[in-house]
Amino acid sequence: MIKAEKISELTTTRLSVYLRCLNDLAAAGEASVSSEKLAKKFHLNSAQIRKDLANFGEFGTRGVGYHVETLRDHLTKILGLDREHQVGIIGAGRLGTALTDYYGFRKANFTVAALFDADPKKIGKKVGDVAILDIKNFAAAARSYKIDVAVIAVPAETAQAALEMVAKAGIKAVLNFAPVPLKTDSDVKIKSIDLTTSLESLSYFLASQPSANGVNPKSGNRRK
């Protein structure tokens, strides 16, 4: 088995995809599945599946494939989803409050413990069952709620300060939604999701496609 720090983020992302696929197979009553069948059913690469899983041990049986429930349990433990994670969301704006009720968090064993904001008009209120707390008390609240994952959902200009506050509180995992790269000297793992960048990438794809009349929007040239 390869040490955790040697495993790439792309690999762990694929493991998450495999786990979702196995959950679907288990729900459908499938007892076993080969890497080829798994790849075909979910549009994956069978060789990549075998290579990724080999990083963590031997799970399959030649001629039979993988036992769905067993492999699902292994991947759940490998990804650390066999225990509950407490999430603190920094920023009680539209994005932060929407994330509070995101079903995918609960399904994957992530519980939103608290929201944090600096706006006196928001502090003390609730979003569902989740309280909005004063950001000044973040460190104490993080200890009290045993928060181990922080979500940054604040404007770009305050995101770096939010990260520094999170790092000082001893939290090692951060999901960043602010549209700005964040830097830290500590061993905090940052995963950034920039929705605008993703949309711009899609815009490039659309701009590269010929229109109905054969004109490429980027070049203005017609197909011959």
Is the Cβ–Cβ distance between 97 and 127 less than 8 Å? yes
Residue 211: beta bridge partners? Answer: none
* The model's pTM: 0.84
Which has more confidence, 5 or 49?
A: 49
What percentage of the chain reaches a pLDDT higher than 70? 92
Give one DSSP letter per residue of 17-83, joined into a string: HHHHHHHHHHHTT--EE-HHHHHHHHT--HHHHHHHHHTT----BTTTBEEHHHHHHHHHHHTTTTS
pLDDT of residue 60: 79
Mean pLDDT in residue range 201-217: 78
Domains of the chain in start order, with CATH, are 4-78 (1.10.10.10), 85-193 (3.40.50.720)
pLDDT of residue 85: 97
- Residue 209: per-residue pLDDT: 83
Q: What pLDDT, in 10s, does the model give residues 74-100?
A: 999 999 999 999 999 999 999 999 999
pLDDT for position 219: 59
Tell me the average pLDDT across 194-214: 84
pLDDT beyond 60 at 156? yes
Count other C-beta atoms under 10 Å from residue 148's C-beta. Answer: 19
Give residue 221's pLDDT.
56
Q: What is the pLDDT of residue 107?
A: 87
Q: What is the model's pLDDT at position 205? A: 92
With a cut of 90, say whether residue 14 has pLDDT above it.
yes
Residue 1, pLDDT > 60, answer no
Out of 28-42, 43-57, 109-123, the most confident range is 109-123
pLDDT of residue 137 exceeding 90, the answer is yes
Q: Which of 159, 94, 170 is nearest to 127 (CA)?
A: 94
121 sits in which H/E element = none
Residue 215 has what pLDDT?
59
Q: Is 108 helix (H, G, I), strand (E, B) or coil?
A: coil
Identify the band that residue 29 occupies on the pLDDT scale cut at 50, 70 and 90: very high
Instruction: pLDDT band for 63, please (50, 70, 90 cuts).
Output: confident
Predicted local distance difference test score (pLDDT) of residue 4? 52
Poorest-pLDDT segment among 43-52, 57-66, 197-206: 57-66
